[in-house]
Amino acid sequence: MKKKLLSVLLTGALAASMFVGCGTSTETTDTPSDAGTETESTEEAGSTAAGGTKVGVAMPTKDLQRWNQDGDNMKKELEAAGYEVDLQYASNDVQTQVSQIENMINSGCNVLVVAAIEGSSLGEAMDMAAEKDIPVIAYDRLIMNSDAVSYYATFDNYKVGQVQGQYIIDKLDLENTTDTFTMEITAGDPGDNNAGFFYNGAYDLLKEYIDNGTLVVKSGQIEFAEVATPAWATETAQSRMETILSSNYANEDLDVCLCSNDSTALGVENALASNYKGEYPIITGQDCDIENTKNMINGKQSMSVFKDTRTLASQVVKMVGQILSGEEVDVNDTETYDNGTGVIPSYLCEPVFADADNYKELLIDSGYYTEDQLK
């Protein structure tokens, strides 16, 4: 396990940690931003970071629903704990994210929480954080090849894939059947370290059924590199599936679409809606995005995996507090996530199976969505 020495904390950060819980009065202001940059920042009017502890939160994009929820939750929870928050969204543009992180460092952020657009492209900004001894928590997506990363907080990404794979096995009773079924696979962004974990989690369970011919992938596209979806884009997943449908499923039903997440599942669902006449396949997803949850309710998507972003935000806020006060940081995995410089101590939250039968309890009763949002 990688040893992370965080003993050299900024004096300001230490002093400021005493403010935690004191409820600094904050005011939301729009900060000037580069073209295409989505910015949201809170700062005590007229103050500098020296007056309090400031946490920089770098999120990838506002285009996908989950990151808006993650950003909102982080901001709310950090502010409730008394921190100043500099929350930035980078429109899925790597260079924008690098500049945003550099600005956070220059403006005196004491801790950085970063959900990387591309895990391997934050080198410069990470070097700068390391030089200034600013602790970095990789949020949901691991930052690769940098020893500036102190901790990683995410969901159990391999398990997400397993939940999807096991669902397909159970739904089709693959262990006992003598039938064969057609399946196509849509995975995530190759620049996102999570994408391989999701794919492997499902593939490791389904491989034996592909190998013994129970699951037939007519497109022949099985390897991660063949089924990946750059930037997790719905449109890319849609156009790829349109091609697959017209080439392979004009006269035959497609039984299963293993999709790594909801944005790609939505693309597949759009392709099916316009290019497919047969019986609707089993479709997997992840995130319980609003559009996908509606599709689950309408019978167009079979399942999703709920990752309660409130739980992740609470855990990260707890870790920020522990880092700043020099306490032992709460981790539950010190083996799985090697970012190329060693294993990063991680906290993995539990992903939960979701479908049309349990969504009310998971999503509405828990206050994650209102009933109206799903109409």
Q: Which is nearer to ligand BGC, 157 or 182 (CB)?
A: 157
Using the rule CB under 6 A, is 64 a contact of ligand BGC? yes
Residues sharing a CB contact under 8 Å with residue 198, sequence separation 6 or more, in sequence order: 157, 158, 160, 161, 164, 187, 188, 260, 261, 286
Lay out the site mask for ligand BGC across 122-161 (x = CB under 6 A, - = otherwise): ------------------xx--------------------
DSSP E strand boundaries for the chain: 27-29, 38-43, 54-59, 84-89, 111-114, 136-139, 149-155, 181-186, 215-216, 256-259, 282-283, 304-306, 346-349, 352-354
Q: How far is the CB of 140 from ligand BGC (least distance, A)?
A: 5
Helix, strand, coil fractions of the chain, as percent rounded to 5: 40, 15, 45
Lay out the site mask for ligand BGC across 160-189 (x = CB under 6 A, - = otherwise): ------------------------------
Q: How many other C-beta atoms lie within 10 A of the C-beta of residue 67?
A: 21
Using the rule CB under 6 A, is 194 a contact of ligand BGC? yes
**Residue 184's beta-bridge partner residues?**
257
Q: How many other C-beta atoms lie within 10 A of the C-beta of residue 63?
A: 16
Q: How far is the CB of 187 from ligand BGC (least distance, A)?
A: 11
Q: Which is nearer to ligand BGC, 194 or 219 (CB)?
A: 194
Q: Which is nearer to ligand BGC, 110 or 264 (CB)?
A: 264
Question: Considering only residues 10, 20, 43, 66, which one is a binding residue for ligand BGC as defined by CB under 6 A?
Answer: 66
Q: Which is nearer to ligand BGC, 20 or 288 (CB)?
A: 288
Q: Which is nearer to ligand BGC, 56 or 161 (CB)?
A: 161
Question: Considering only residues 53, 286, 292, 293, which one is a binding residue for ligand BGC as defined by CB under 6 A?
Answer: 286
Q: How far is the CB of 195 from ligand BGC (least distance, A)?
A: 7
The one-letter amino acid code at 215 reads: L
Closest CA to 138 of 340, 350, 339: 339
Q: How far is the CB of 257 from ligand BGC (least distance, A)?
A: 16
What is d(CA 271, CA 290) in angstroms, rounded to the nearest whole number?
Answer: 19
Q: How far is the CB of 135 from ligand BGC (least distance, A)?
A: 21
Site for ligand BGC (CB under 6 A): how many residues?
A: 12
DSSP E strand boundaries for 192-234: 215-216
For 1, which DSSP code?
-
Using the rule CB under 6 A, is 287 a contact of ligand BGC? yes
Residue ranges that bind ligand BGC, judged by CB under 6 A: 64, 66, 140-141, 192, 194, 232, 261, 263, 286-287, 307
